[in-house]
């Protein structure tokens, strides 16, 4: 009986330490940064710490300052929504980012994420990879 109790406690402990992303509950979850309700499925973003704490954001513009402040190394997952395939979350560090006034985002930065850069043609836009986007927002 004592061994069974120890196994149950161990299972509970291990399941509570998951470092997995969680789905964003649109129109329910609030942005961890600005506290706005997360509504637009094309712009949601998420950080998962190495300890498993999940932070959800209504826009990439809200995720970036948190990532810059705490450092990328503190996160097990840095995720953004693929604009063309919402609400699919993709790895931000290997995504392409577009700043375009033709795609206004919830926080007004006109920033959207894509699985690859060649998915959208917009001559008035600027493309960034993750490192360049961090540098741009870290000015």
Q: What is the pLDDT of residues 103-126, one digit of tens each?
A: 999 999 999 999 988 778 888 889
* Nearest C-alpha neighbor of 89 from the set 81, 97, 99: 81
Predicted confidence at residue 100, as pLDDT, reads 94
| pLDDT for the residue 16 | 53
| Low-confidence residues in the chain, pLDDT < 70 | 1-17
* Nearest-angstrom CA–CA distance, 97 and 1: 55
Look at residues 15, 12, 92, 17 and name the one whose alpha carbon lies nearest to residue 59.
Answer: 92
Model-level pTM? 0.85
pLDDT for 22: 97
Rg of the chain (C-alpha set): 17
């Amino acid at each position: 009986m004592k061994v069974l109790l120890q196994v149950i406690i161990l299972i509970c402990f291990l399941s509570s330490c998951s470092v997995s992303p969680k789905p964003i509950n649109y129109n329910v979850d609030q942005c961890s940064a600005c506290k706005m309700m997360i509504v637009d499925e094309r712009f949601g973003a998420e950080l998962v710490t190495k300890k498993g704490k999940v932070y959800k954001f209504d826009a990439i513009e809200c995720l970036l300052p948190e990532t810059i402040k705490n450092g990328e190394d503190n996160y097990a997952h840095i995720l953004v929504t693929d604009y063309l395939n919402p609400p699919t979350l993709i790895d931000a560090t290997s995504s392409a980012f577009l700043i375009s006034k033709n795609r206004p985002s919830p926080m007004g930065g006109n920033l959207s994420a894509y699985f690859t850069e060649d998915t959208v043609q917009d001559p008035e836009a600027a493309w960034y990879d993750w490192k360049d986007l961090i540098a741009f927002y870290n000015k």
